[in-house]
Amino acid sequence: MNPRLTRRRFIKSVIFSGAALSSGAGFYLASAQSRQAGAVERLVSLNINGRTRRVDVMPQETLAHTLRYKLGLTGTKIGCNRGECGSCTVTIDDVTHYSCSTLTHSVKGKEVVTIEGLRSESGALHPVQQAFIDELSPQCGFCTPGQIMSTVALLKTNPRPTREEARQALSGNLCRCGAYDHYLNGVMRASGQLS
């Protein structure tokens, strides 16, 4: 028997390999393979919340994954991860998209704004955020970042929407608490139509 392979070393190595797999490191190691000619470059620059971020992105990676697990922007929530709930909504060039159903590589050269990018440099909340607080719009709050991003995008193109227009604009964001009317109150307040 190899004298270097002690019982202690053997157990340590087993524990280490188990830890590597369970921590998800195996996922990244397995995906770090060489690239086919013509396929995308993994190291990309992204414009997130007005800042340029250099990040290593897998070819098949979704924007929600990049934002949350590589850039630490966990304000963007992953609910269903299938484009069926809206909690991962971000704006790309001022248009709302489900970040769980967007390839990160497809937003190169575009402006991505997440919930973290809304507050002003002084730290003051965005008017939509403040209006949602004033109207007690969120209940549990999980869908709120998405609801806010949809509202921000709406008010950019339509600063004084009717309640029906707001309902349409927010229709791609589920709220399982059912606080829809409270969110609509928030939209009305943010657009200066409630005093």
Partner 1 sequence: MPAFDNMPDMELYQPVQIDDALALAARLADRGWLVGGGQDTYGWIKDRNKRPDALIDLNGIESLRGIREIADGIEIGALTTLTEVATNPIVRERYSLLSKAASVVASPQIRNAGTLAGNVAQDVRCWYYRRGLDCYRAGGNLCYADTPEAQNREHAIFNASRCVAVTPSDTGPALVALEAQMVITSQRGQRVVPADRFFVGPDVDIENTTVLRDGEILTAVRIPAKWAGAEFYYEKVADRNVWDFALVSIAGAMRIEGGNIVASSIVCGAVQCTPRRLSSVERAIQGRPRNEATATMVAGMASQGARPLNQNAFKMPLMDNLVTKLLTA
Interacting residue ranges for partner 1, rule: CB under 8 A: 27, 30-31, 33, 35-36, 38-40, 58-62, 65, 78, 81-84, 86, 89, 95-98, 100-103, 105-106, 150, 168-169, 171-172
CB of 44 to partner 1, least distance (A): 11
Give which of 189, 154, 182 is closest to 168, Cα–Cα. Answer: 154
Closest contact distance (angstroms) between CB of 87 and partner 1 is 11
Cβ proximity to partner 1: between 89 and 137 the closer is: 89
Environment class of residue 127 by beta-carbon count within 10 Å: exposed (0-12), middle (13-18) or buried (19+)?
A: middle
| Least distance (Å) between residue 75 CB and partner 1 | 17
Sequence-ordered list of residues with C-beta below 8 angstroms from that of 44, at least 6 positions apart, any chain: 54, 55, 57, 104, 105, 108
Q: Given the complex with partner 1, which of 48 and 58 has the nearer CB atom?
A: 58
Q: What's the CA gap between 57 and 66, in Å, rounded?
A: 7
| Least gap, CB of 73 to partner 1 (angstroms) | 17
The per-residue DSSP string of 93-120 comes to TTEEEEGGGSBGGGGTTSEEE-GGG-S-
Closer residue to partner 1 (CB): 44 or 133: 44
